């Protein structure tokens, strides 16, 4: 079937927008920021003819609260931004996690802290996976590594958000958002999803639904938090996704996600040409993190090299995951310059034994 669909050459950001449309998302709220502007640009053109609504709000804070309102009605809706804008949205994300609202947020992250710069960065890993807003909540976080995955994982994010009634984030960066690659725009099979009988659709003939994150009755909030916790535990059981390449005979495994995973893949191939048995472990879900996958492979491989476009964030999860006698090395680069594969190859040579 996929052979019949003509490939198109598009930017990662455009692939996200196409994925959203193909997932049935007709509502977008956002505020412009580089390097994700191709997402709103595409949707502003293509949503209205489909009967959808594109709103450029006055700020990111307004955008996230428009999103909250839209998703409370049971509609599929999204917002996209980049790091400083995502920071402004954290309060809304916390409220939506607390209110169990299924939304998709795309962060095409740029360099920080502060206004930082517009170059690629993976400095928002902590913010995305640890819950950048307040409270004991989690978000599903998907990290695409190719333009095709920008499309596929955006579609998946909508399904997972609905499945769990929880915000889901697609975490890309300037590299993966700006580069072009062939895309096969083919809708995935839709998941079997629970009905949205909680949505605010007008209460005529039924009991009113309430969407809220405030729980003041004794024991009520504890119970609510346990319910959320059960949901996160279920995500850990059912939604972990990762890719593992050349692990069978590996003596060293690179762990990297998103843009750095693909640069690392080339470094791995270069190392293999030099006779070094190197593999790659690429988390696709950053939450839930593929702890077990890493643990299992660390039973046989004892050298790990985590590569990130920051000064050390995901490496903490790698260390928490692997077997206790495995060694975890780290190579990180603060934003500003992208490491070519040769630079990672040098690190492989340093730690390979």
Partner 1 sequence: MDTKGFYYDIIIAGFGGQGVLAIGNLLAYAAMKEGRQVTFLPTYGVEMRGGTANCTVVISSKEIGSPIVQRPHAVISMNLPSLLKYGIRVLPKGLLMVNSSLIDLKEVSRKDIELLAIPVNDIANQNGNPKLANMIALGAFIEKTKWVTFSSVFESLEKVFDERHHGLIPSNIKAIQIGAEYVKSLL
The dihedral through the CA atoms of 279, 257, 236, 148 has a sign that is negative
Site for partner 1 in 268-327 (CB under 8 A): 268-269
5 forms part of the interface with partner 1 (CB under 8 A): no
User: Which residue's CB is nearer to partner 1, number 8 or number 61?
Assistant: 8
By CB under 8 A, residue 191 contacts partner 1: no
Residues 103-122, mask of contacts with partner 1 (x by CB under 8 A):
---------------x----
Q: Does residue 22 belong to the site contacting partner 1 (CB under 8 A)?
A: no
Q: Does 340 sit near partner 1 (CB under 8 A)?
A: yes
Smaller CB separation from partner 1, 316 or 343: 343
Q: Is 264 in the site for partner 1 (CB under 8 A)?
A: yes
Cβ(332)–Cβ(319) below 8 Å: no
* Residue (240 or 270) nearer to partner 1, CB: 270
Residue 221 tokens, joined: 């909030």
Q: Tokens at residue 106, please?
A: 């795309």
Sole window of 124-132, 184-192, 265-273, 290-298 interacting with partner 1 (rule: CB under 8 A): 265-273
> Quick one: which of 253, 263, 314, 348 contacts partner 1 (CB under 8 A)?
263
Residue 308 backbone dihedrals phi, psi, to 5 degrees = -140, 155
Rounded (10°) CA dihedral 1, 160, 106, 11:
-10
Q: How far is the CB of 34 from partner 1 (least distance, A)?
A: 6
Pair type for strands 327-332 and 303-308: parallel
| Closer CB to partner 1, 153 or 160, in the complex | 153
- Min dist CB 266 to partner 1, Å, is 3
Q: Is 175 an interacting residue with respect to partner 1 (CB under 8 A)?
A: yes
Span near partner 1 by CB under 8 A; candidates 125-133, 159-167, 174-182, 216-224: 174-182
Which residue number, 269 or 291, has a Cβ lying nearer to partner 1?
269
Q: Does 262 bind partner 1 (CB under 8 A)?
A: yes
Instruction: Report whether 304 contacts 347 (CB < 8 A).
Output: no
Closer CB to partner 1, 293 or 339, in the complex: 339
CB under 8 A: which stretch of 188-196, 219-227, 233-241, 257-265 binds partner 1? 257-265
Among 267, 301, 318, 348, binds partner 1 (CB under 8 A): 267
Alpha carbon 345 to chain centroid, angstroms: 27
Positions 33 through 92 that interact with partner 1 (CB under 8 A): 34-35
Q: Which position among 32, 113, 135, 182 is part of the footprint of partner 1 (CB under 8 A)?
A: 182
Residues that bind partner 1 (CB under 8 A): 7-9, 34-35, 118, 174-175, 178-182, 262-269, 338-342
């Amino acid at each position: 079937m996929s052979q019949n669909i003509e490939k198109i050459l598009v930017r990662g950001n455009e692939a996200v927008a196409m994925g959203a449309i193909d997932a049935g998302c007709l509502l977008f709220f956002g505020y412009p920021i580089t390097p994700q502007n191709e997402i709103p640009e595409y949707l502003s053109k293509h949503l209205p003819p489909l009967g959808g609504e594109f709103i450029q709000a006055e700020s990111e804070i307004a955008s996230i609260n428009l999103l909250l309102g839209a998703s409370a009605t049971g509609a599929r809706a999204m917002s996209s931004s980049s790091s400083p804008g995502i920071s402004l949205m954290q309060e809304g994300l916390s409220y939506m996690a607390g209110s169990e609202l299924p939304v998709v947020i795309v962060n095409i992250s740029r360099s920080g802290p502060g206004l930082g710069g517009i170059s690629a960065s993976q400095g928002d890993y902590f913010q995305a996976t640890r819950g950048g807003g307040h409270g004991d909540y989690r978000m599903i976080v998907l990290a695409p590594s190719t333009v095709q995955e920008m499309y596929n994982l955006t579609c998946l994010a909508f399904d997972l958000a609905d499945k769990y009634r929880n915000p889901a984030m697609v975490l890309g960066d300037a590299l993966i958002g700006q580069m072009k690659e062939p895309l096969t725009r083919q809708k995935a099979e839709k998941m079997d999803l629970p009905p949205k009988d909680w949505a605010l659709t007008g209460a005529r003939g039924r009991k009113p639904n309430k969407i809220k994150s405030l729980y003041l009755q004794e024991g009520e909030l504890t119970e609510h938090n346990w319910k959320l916790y059960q949901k996160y535990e279920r995500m850990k059981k059912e939604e972990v996704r990762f890719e593992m390449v050349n692990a069978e005979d590996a003596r060293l495994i690179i762990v990297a996600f998103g843009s750095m995973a693909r640069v690392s893949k080339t470094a791995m191939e270069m190392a293999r040409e030099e006779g070094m048995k190197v593999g790659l472990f690429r988390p696709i879900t950053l939450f839930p993190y593929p702890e077990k996958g890493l643990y299992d492979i660390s039973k046989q491989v004892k050298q790990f090299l985590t590569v990130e476009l920051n000064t050390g964030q995901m490496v903490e999860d790698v260390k928490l995951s692997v077997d206790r006698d495995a060694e975890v090395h780290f190579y990180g680069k603060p934003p500003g310059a992208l490491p070519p594969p040769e630079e990672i190859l040098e690190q492989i040579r340093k730690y390979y034994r």
